Amino acid sequence: MNILCIGDIIGSPGRQALEKLLPDIKKEFGVDFTIVNAENSAGGFGLTGRIADQFLKQGCDVLTLGDHTWDKRDLYEYLAETDKVIRPANFPPGAPGRGWTVRKAKNGQKIGVINLLGRVFMRYNVECPFRSLENIVKEVRKETNIIILDMHAETTSEKVAMGFFADGKISGVFGTHTHIQTADEKILPKGTAYITDLGMTGPYDSVIGQEKELIIERFLTSMPNKFSVATEDVWLHGAVMEIDDKTGKALKITRIQRKKE
């Protein structure tokens, strides 16, 4: 079982890169199931139902979100009606949508996908992601032992801690949010695939996807300004996790970097 995990899609450059590069990547790695973090895909902040539908038609199986989940109000109703787009499960009760889902892969195998939000340096007060994971895993395991977590968090330490906490409980943990791919992909001691951050799918001639001149000006002046998604040097970043169908344990994890020509 090969599960493709793709890092934060940034605006229209990221959407175009996904559309162009996804078919060849899926063919190259024999991908059975695709998970994409889509929380920055609508103009760099948030997701809309229309864009979500586009991603799903292009062959993405589950879309995950993060701290920009609520940036586009039209997504609220959409989240309440779908199990293919999930938001962080540790938002308080009453938030629209769901935080985990179980979907069938191309080969018929069920895959559980969980989305969680870190608490360190984040703008939302959410429930403990560690305890939330424990509770959700009990439910997901009633249907499948292949479970992948998108840990959307700011700090490396929180993501690494989640990796070790989840080791042996689920099949794989990938981090999102910081937009820079880390070179620490590994199989943890109890059989869980792990990478601290997938990186982003979008323009790398930028500061984490935004026009670099605007970000530099803000650092120099401490004055607010309107960010704008950059357009140059567009890459798709992510990873493929090879999972044993029977045990749910990870066999291999491979980082992916592909340039949109």
What are the catalytic residues? 68
Residue 16's nearest CA partner among 48, 69, 55 is: 55
Q: Which residue has the tokens 């951050």?
A: 197
Please give the Cα distance from 142 to 97 (Å, whole number): 21
**Residue appearing with tokens 């703008």:** 123
Half-sphere exposure of 17 (CA within 13 A, CB side): 30
**String of DSSP letters for the chain:** -EEEEE--B-HHHHHHHHHHHHHHHHHHHT-SEEEEE-TTTTTTS---HHHHHHHHHTT--EEE--TTTTSSTTHHHHHHH-SSEE--TTSPTT-SS-SEEEEE-TTS-EEEEEEEE--TT-SS----HHHHHHHHHHHHTTT-S-EEEEEE-S-HHHHHHHHHHHBTTBSEEEEESS-S--S--EE-TTS-EEES----BEESSSBTTB-HHHHHHHHHH-------B--SSEEEEEEEEEE-TTT--EEEEEEEEEE--
